[in-house]
């Protein structure tokens, strides 16, 4: 089972290299708003979901695409962690 | 009858009339805060008073730089009541662009919020010094308050200290009401100047055409610096209705937008088509009761018929309207969507009341059915010009013939159209390099200018790749200087400091030389189709 720190690191690396457009800024804090930081907009959001589904082999349900799951890195990692746990519990 | 009710020349009169009619009617609901017409009338009176006491004079430009809230309306109506001109600035930045706008139209008073602090620090470094920085939420004391921020006040405290009564100013309806900045081909955004009359002409038409009533509940999806907001705010107030600004962060989450429409029982929606397409694709609309929506209006880009059909199916009871008009003219044509039988794009329709619309061919004659021409607009909805740029104004606002040998200003939109046998206009494309992406208006030249600004860039070309969902995606092809080694990250970072996020190229390629046609002109068609080999 994947460590939550590894999950968070993978998501963070993707966000910082592929989604962030200003690469000169300070490090991304886990509780910093991805929306305020300009990382999540309508395009960024669906790119991030595609990455999560591909990288971790989990499905993000439409009703999960909410600010309370995607506002911060910590929330996104938490959502992915729970999905992976549920997936391995089933298999 | 109260004499004030007859006064409806200025945008702020719409609020005053509404407050006299029914002070307890709900005016605005946003982020849990609600203001009635009476409350908003009084808070905007206090705002006007404060601004006047702080030295704001009629015609002064006052910036609005904070995320949407109920206080946005206090700010807008307060600025107008002070005889001043409101200038909404994208609260998300970038700082350089905001600083440019502040310098360009000489903003000395800026209304902001604590959340904006880090952007403000960057802006103050580059903009001309301010006279007053007014925090709408709290005094978030700018640390070691930079002398460049001028006086720093917090609205919650400051409003308690102002004297009662509304300033009485000699504003007339041809005076400026607001300036909206839009992408400029020379690399700098340009400020479209709109008067009370310009907006009011459109608002009068809209309220009667869409039969807006006091019980209506209007969405406000567009940002305040986007001209769609003019309908949301002022048509709502003219009708005595309520407006519901959607917090910026929610607009990216289609399910929450659907929930918002349901929870607030919105009756009238207005947005760019891409927002509706997002809603249709990811909003799980079958789970929500959106039956309250009686009219859905859209403008700003072409709405693909495929999605329009989905929209009709999802909202069978709602009437759909395609509106058209550049920021410079307000909305000037409308088309009520009826049948979608053929796979043809829907028309932009016919002229709205009090807007004169004609398409001219190359010989400057009105086009016949089937011919293509440039859409030209005249009448009281047409802007006063671009702030501080008479040259740019003169290029688009040209004298046209009028009755009795007089002349009147005609705005050349740059939009190519044709006309059908019913007399409806159909949009064909642009005659220049302006594009729309997700409803945002973008001059490719502004992006090219930003790229060439990088010391390692010798030459750059930016093209739009057509895309059904986004309208267009932006691609940049860059020729680095001989000594430079450039990376995508470096270019993105460079752009992010200068351009709004929606203008940063999605695709960035590097090559040794740009493709040219046999006559030496840059061959943009190749750039759209292919990846250029370096």
Complex confidence, ipTM = 0.91
Contacts of B489 in chain A (CB under 8 A): 17, 23
- Measuring CA to CA, which residue among B413, B464, B414 is closest to residue B442? B464
pLDDT band at B275 (very low <50, low <70, confident <90, very high): very high
Residue that terminates a domain, selected from B130, B149, B171: B171
pLDDT above 60: residue B534: no
Q: What is the rounded distance in angstroms from the CA atom of residue B388 to the CA atom of residue B393?
A: 9
Sign of the Cα torsion A25, A28, A31, A34 reads positive
Contact A63 B278 (CB under 8 A): no
Minimal-distance CA residue of chain B relative to A43: B252
- Measuring CA to CA, which residue among B501, B502, B470, B473 is closest to residue B277? B470
Q: Cβ distance B196 to B173 under 8 Å?
A: yes
Contact A42 B504 (CB under 8 A): no
Q: Give the per-residue pLDDT at B140.
A: 57
For residue B447, tell me if it sits in a domain: yes
Q: Give the per-residue pLDDT at B405.
A: 80
pLDDT above 50: residue B5: no
Angstroms from A55 CA to nearest CA on chain B: 21
Q: Give the per-residue pLDDT at B6.
A: 54
Q: Give the per-residue pLDDT at B324.
A: 97
Angstroms from A42 CA to nearest CA on chain B: 5
Lowest-pLDDT range, A3-7, A67-71, B141-145, B296-300?
B141-145
Residue that terminates a domain, selected from B138, B154, B171: B171
Model pLDDT for residues B440-477, shown as the tens digit of each residue: 999 999 999 999 999 999 999 999 999 888 889 999 99
Minimal-distance CA residue of chain A relative to B115: A36
How many CB atoms neighbour CB B415 within 10 A? 23
Interface of B with A in 169-188 (CB under 8 A): none
Task: Give the best residue of A43, A45, A68, A75 to mutate against chain B (max B CB count within 10 A).
Answer: A43
For residue B467, tell me if it sits in a domain: yes
Model pLDDT for residues B513-525, shown as the tens digit of each residue: 888 877 777 788 8
Per-residue tokens: A80: 């992915």
pLDDT above 70: residue B2: no
Q: Give the per-residue pLDDT at B95.
A: 92
Distances (CA, A) of B164 to B36, B45, B53: 19, 8, 12
Q: Residue B151 belongs to what domain range?
A: 3-171
For residue B97, tell me if it sits in a domain: yes
Q: Give the per-residue pLDDT at B180.
A: 98
pLDDT mean over B21-36: 97
Q: What is the CATH number of the domain that holds B72?
A: 3.40.50.980
Task: Give the best residue of B90, B117, B223, B249 to mutate against chain A (max A CB count within 10 A).
Answer: B249
Say if B223 is an interface residue toward chain A (CB within 8 Å).
no
For residue B141, tell me if it sits in a domain: yes
Contact B287 A41 (CB under 8 A): no
Question: Nearest by CB to A23, which of B248, B489, B501?
Answer: B489
Minimal-distance CA residue of chain A relative to B490: A23
Model pLDDT for residues B235-266, shown as the tens digit of each residue: 999 999 999 999 999 999 999 999 999 999 99
Q: Give the per-residue pLDDT at A32.
A: 92
Q: Give the per-residue pLDDT at B1.
A: 39
Interface of B with A in 470-489 (CB under 8 A): 470, 489
Angstroms from B438 CA to nearest CA on chain A: 9
Q: Cβ distance B409 to B382 under 8 Å?
A: yes
Q: What is the CATH number of the domain that holds B480?
A: 3.30.300.30
Q: Give the per-residue pLDDT at B249.
A: 92
For residue B74, tell me if it sits in a domain: yes
Q: Where are the alpha helices (DSSP H) in B410-487?
A: 444-452
Q: Give the per-residue pLDDT at A27.
A: 85
pLDDT mean over B341-366: 90
Model pLDDT for residues B192-205, shown as the tens digit of each residue: 999 999 999 999 99
- Measuring CA to CA, which residue among B353, B368, B441, B364 is closest to residue B410? B364
- Measuring CA to CA, which residue among B347, B443, B404, B76 is closest to residue B229? B76
Contact B254 A66 (CB under 8 A): no
Q: Give the per-residue pLDDT at B162.
A: 92
How high does pLDDT run on average in chain B? Answer: 92
Q: Give percent of chain B above pLDDT 90.
A: 77
Task: Give me the residues paired with residue B416 across strands.
Answer: B374, B429
Angstroms from B498 CA to nearest CA on chain A: 10
Q: Cβ distance B354 to B379 under 8 Å?
A: yes
Q: Chains A and B: how many Cβ contacts under 8 Å? A: 62
Q: Cβ distance B316 to B297 under 8 Å?
A: no
Question: Nearest by CB to B496, which of A22, A46, A71?
Answer: A22
Domain count for chain B, please give it.
Answer: 2
Is the peptide bond preceding residue B94 cis, with omega within 30 degrees of 0?
A: yes
Minimal-distance CA residue of chain B relative to A16: B489
- Measuring CA to CA, which residue among B99, B223, B94, B181 is closest to residue B495? B94
Lowest-pLDDT range, B49-63, B269-283, B375-389, B400-414?
B400-414
How are beta strands B407-419 and B190-195 bridged, if at all?
unpaired
Question: Nearest by CB to B501, which of A17, A38, A70?
Answer: A38
Question: Nearest by CB to A67, which of B250, B274, B493?
Answer: B250
Contacts of A22 in chain B (CB under 8 A): 492-493, 496-497
pLDDT above 90: residue B65: yes
* Domain over A4-21+28-90 is classified CATH 1.10.1200.10: yes
Contacts of B493 in chain A (CB under 8 A): 21-24
For residue B510, tell me if it sits in a domain: yes
Residues in chain A: 91
Task: Give the best residue of B95, B223, B253, B503 to mutate against chain A (max A CB count within 10 A).
Answer: B253
Q: What is the rounded distance in angstroms from the CA atom of residue B411 to the CA atom of residue B390?
A: 14
Q: What is the rounded distance in angstroms from the CA atom of residue B519 to the CA atom of residue B143?
A: 58
For residue B318, tell me if it sits in a domain: no
- Measuring CA to CA, which residue among B452, B438, B530, B522 is closest to residue B491? B452
pLDDT above 60: residue B533: no
Q: What is the rounded distance in angstroms from the CA atom of residue A7 to the CA atom of residue B453?
A: 39
Lowest-pLDDT range, A44-48, A75-79, B42-46, B337-341?
B337-341
Model pLDDT for residues B104-156, shown as the tens digit of each residue: 999 999 999 999 998 999 999 888 889 999 999 986 555 545 677 789 999 99
Model pLDDT for residues B37-62, shown as the tens digit of each residue: 999 999 999 999 999 999 999 999 99
- Measuring CA to CA, which residue among B46, B43, B37 is closest to residue B16? B37
pLDDT band at A21 (very low <50, low <70, confident <90, very high): confident
Question: Nearest by CB to A67, which of B253, B496, B502?
Answer: B253
């Amino acid at each position: 089972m994947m460590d939550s720190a590894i999950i968070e690191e993978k998501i963070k690396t993707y966000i910082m290299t592929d989604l962030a457009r200003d690469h000169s800024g300070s490090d991304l804090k886990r509780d910093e708003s991805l929306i305020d930081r300009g990382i999540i907009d309508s395009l960024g959001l669906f790119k991030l979901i595609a990455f999560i589904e591909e990288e971790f082999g989990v499905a993000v349900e439409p009703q999960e695409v909410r600010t309370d799951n995607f506002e911060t890195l910590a929330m996104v990692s938490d959502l992915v962690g729970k999905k992976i746990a549920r997936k391995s519990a089933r298999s | 009858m109260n004499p004030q009710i007859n006064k409806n020349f200025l945008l702020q009169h719409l609020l005053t009339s509404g407050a006299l009619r029914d002070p307890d009617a709900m005016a605005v609901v946003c982020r849990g805060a609600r203001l009635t017409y009476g409350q908003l009338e009084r808070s905007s009176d206090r705002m006007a008073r404060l601004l006047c006491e702080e030295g704001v004079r009629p015609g002064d430009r006052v910036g609005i730089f904070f995320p949407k809230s109920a206080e946005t309306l206090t700010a807008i109506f307060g600025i107008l009541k002070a005889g001043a001109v409101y200038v909404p600035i994208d609260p998300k930045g970038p700082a350089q662009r905001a600083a440019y706008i502040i310098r360009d139209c000489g903003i000395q008073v800026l209304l902001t919020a604590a959340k904006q602090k880090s952007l403000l620090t960057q802006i103050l470094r580059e903009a001309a010094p301010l006279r007053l920085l007014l925090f709408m939420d709290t005094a978030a004391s700018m640390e070691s308050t930079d002398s460049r921020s001028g006086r720093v006040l917090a609205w919650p405290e400051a409003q308690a200290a102002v004297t009662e009564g509304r300033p009485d100013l000699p504003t007339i309806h041809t005076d400026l009401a607001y300036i909206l900045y839009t992408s400029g081909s020379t690399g700098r955004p340009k400020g479209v100047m709109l008067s009370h009359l310009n907006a009011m002409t459109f608002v009068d038409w809209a309220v009667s055409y869409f039969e807006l009533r006091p019980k209506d509940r209007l969405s406000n999806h567009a940002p305040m610096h986007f001209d769609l907001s003019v309908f949301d705010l002022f048509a709502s107030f003219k009708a005595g209705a309520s407006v519901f600004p959607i917090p910026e962060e929610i607009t990216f989450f289609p399910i929450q937008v659907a929930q918002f429409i349901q929870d607030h029982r919105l009756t009238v929606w207005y947005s760019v088509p891409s927002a509706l397409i997002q809603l249709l694709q990811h909003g799980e609309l079958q789970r929500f009761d959106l039956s309250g929506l009686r009219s859905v209006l859209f403008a700003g880009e072409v709405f693909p018929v495929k999605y329009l059909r989905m929209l009709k199916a999802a909202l069978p009871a709602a009437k759909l309207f395609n509106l058209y008009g550049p920021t410079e003219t307000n909305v000037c044509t409308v088309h009520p969507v009826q049948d979608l039988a053929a796979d043809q794009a829907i028309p932009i329709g016919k002229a709205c009341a009090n807007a004169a619309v004609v398409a001219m061919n190359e010989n400057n004659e009105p086009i016949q059915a089937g011919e293509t021409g440039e859409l030209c607009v005249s009448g009281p909805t047409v802007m006063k010009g671009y702030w501080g740029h008479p040259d740019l104004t003169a290029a688009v606002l040209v004298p046209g013939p009028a009755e009795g040998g007089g002349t009147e200003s005609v705005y050349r939109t740059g939009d190519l159209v044709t006309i059908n046998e019913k007399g409806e206009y159909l949009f064909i494309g642009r005659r220049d390099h302006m594009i729309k992406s997700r409803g945002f208006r973008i001059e490719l030249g502004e992006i090219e200018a930003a790229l060439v600004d990088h010391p390692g860039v010798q030459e750059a070309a930016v093209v739009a790749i057509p895309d059904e969902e986004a309208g267009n995606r932006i691609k940049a092809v860059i020729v680095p200087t001989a000594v430079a080694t450039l990376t995508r990250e470096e270019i993105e970072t460079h752009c992010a400091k200068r351009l709004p996020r929606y203008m940063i190229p999605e695709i960035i390629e590097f090559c040794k030389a740009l493709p040219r046609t046999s006559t030496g002109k840059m061959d943009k068609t190749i750039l759209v189709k292919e990846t250029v080999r370096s």
